Amino acid sequence: MKIKIEKGNLLSAVQVASRGIPSHTTQPILECIVVEAKENVISMRSTDMEIAICTIADGEVIEDGTVALDAKIFLEIAKKMPDGDITIECGEDYQTKIVSGKTKFKIAGRDASVFPKTAESDGADEVIISEFSLKELIRTTLFSVDFNAAQKAMTGELLKVNGDRLSAISLDGHRISIRNIDLRKSYDPVSAIVPGKTLMEIQKALSGDADKDCTIIFGEKTILFSFGSTTLISRIIDGEFFDIKAIVNIQPQMTVTVNKQDFADCIDRAALFVKDGTKKPVILETKDNAIEVRIESTLGSMNEDVDATRTGGDIKIGMNPAFLSDILKNIDEETITLYFVGEKQPCIIRDRDSFLYLALPVALK
């Protein structure tokens, strides 16, 4: 195998392919990126047996061939090579030369034929969404995925298509996040529970360009994301997602509308008095034209009134400030409305049909 590729193109491709490398594995071949030159196409792929990533690199194929290269050293070499064209040549016993000008590396490659066969898409339900919309959908819901949950469904998000709407739903036992994105056309209903790790890697790889599209193909056991020159295939989580209709359809007894940024800044200030690992709540209590935010701990105390308009009765409720901050930083609206049922019931923040966030309260002593 022999290829010629410009440094920027090489680095970009290796960085994308590296996202499929497992953090821990007993199989050395999985620590490698497979570089393949075939029919004037240069591809780089990797897998951790749950996610498979393949990206196409822009370059020149001089001689067809394939080699598996250690991802960590390959990435570091790509970063440190001088600007300009780089030649990669695999010779006898998979010894691989990486050369640019006066800079020459030689690294030990592996036989790519022993690289495990990766999952292939088994789906036919194709949905198209802009890279920007998908990146935002993931960004604003991924924070409430519990990556270490014993219940598998909590380690992923439910992606659900219904007509011209794509929804993402995640929950971690303390919070629920729901985001809805309008699609350009209507599709047949389809859904999948996608691992949080998969969505994290997609979020990193997406450009976020509103003029570029991502194709999602839903299957019975896999889901495929194709964008730019990259294709990512992931296994999906088996089983049914949690039925949250009863929770999110709670009828509020009162509402409080505030300036989002003022309220978020106030919660952040209150969080200064919470030690790591403690469950000290911030107390929210309504007043005539404001909602008071206060906290007391061994570190000190703080209280502040945030201007508000409200309907219904009064409320005094304890909330985890970190949970509130996570929600607020993922809302872009200028004003938000908090919906309350009672001091032992969830606080809901929602806006028509575009999003809904729910956080459970903390019991007050």
What does the pLDDT look like over 180-203, one tens digit per residue?
Answer: 999 999 999 999 999 999 999 999
* 255 and 237 within one domain: no
Contacts of 152 (CB under 8 A, 6+ apart): 193, 237, 238, 239
* 31 and 105 within one domain: yes
Cα–Cα nearest to 248, from 182, 317, 178: 178
Question: Which of 114, 143, 178 is at the close of a domain?
Answer: 114
3: left (phi over 0), alpha (psi -120 to 50) or beta: beta
pLDDT at 352: 77
Contacts of 137 (CB under 8 A, 6+ apart): 129, 166, 168, 179, 181
Q: Per-residue pLDDT for 38 more than 80?
A: yes
Contacts of 201 (CB under 8 A, 6+ apart): 19, 20, 51, 53, 232
* 134 and 231 within one domain: yes
pLDDT at 47: 95
The amino acid sitting at 356 is L
**Cβ pair 265, 317 in contact under 8 A:** no
* 105 and 131 within one domain: no
Report the alpha-carbon distance of residue 227 to residue 332 in Å, rounded.
26
* 236 and 132 within one domain: yes
At 70-108, the pLDDT tens digits run: 999 999 999 999 999 999 999 999 999 999 999 999 999
* Tokens 């990669």 -> residue: 88
pLDDT at 275: 77
* Tokens 């890697």 -> residue: 201
Give per-residue burial for 144-167: e unless 16+ CB within 10 Å, then b: bbbeeeeeebbbbbbbbbeeeebb
Residue 212 counted as domain residue: yes
Q: Reading across the β-sheet that carries 213-218, which strands appear in turn?
A: 65-70, 32-38, 41-47, 51-57, 230-235, 222-227, 213-218, 125-130
**Cβ pair 156, 196 in contact under 8 A:** yes
At 204-247, the pLDDT tens digits run: 999 999 999 999 999 999 999 999 999 999 999 999 999 998 88
Cα–Cα nearest to 214, from 154, 269, 138: 138
Number of structural domains found in the chain: 3
pLDDT at 277: 62
**Cβ pair 179, 361 in contact under 8 A:** no
Q: DSSP secondary-structure letter at 196?
A: H
Report the alpha-carbon distance of residue 47 to residue 116 in Å, rounded.
8
pLDDT at 124: 78
Q: pLDDT-based confidence at 364, cuts 50/70/90? A: confident
pLDDT at 299: 86
* 232 and 255 within one domain: no
By residue range, what is the domain housing residue 322? 250-359
Q: pLDDT-based confidence at 338, cuts 50/70/90? A: very high
Cα–Cα nearest to 45, from 73, 23, 66, 24: 66
Q: Per-residue pLDDT for 266 more than 90?
A: yes
Q: pLDDT-based confidence at 298, cuts 50/70/90? A: confident
Average pLDDT, the chain: 94
pLDDT at 118: 72
Question: Which of 181, 216, 243 is at the close of a domain?
Answer: 243
The mean pLDDT of 140-155, rounded to a whole number, is 96
**Cβ pair 352, 345 in contact under 8 A:** no
Q: Which two tokens stand for residue 265?
A: 């800044």
Residue 119 counted as domain residue: no
* 260 and 231 within one domain: no
pLDDT at 276: 67
CATH number at 136 reads: 3.10.150.10
pLDDT at 120: 73
Query: pLDDT exceeding 90 applies to what percent of the chain?
Result: 87
Cα–Cα nearest to 85, from 99, 97, 96: 99
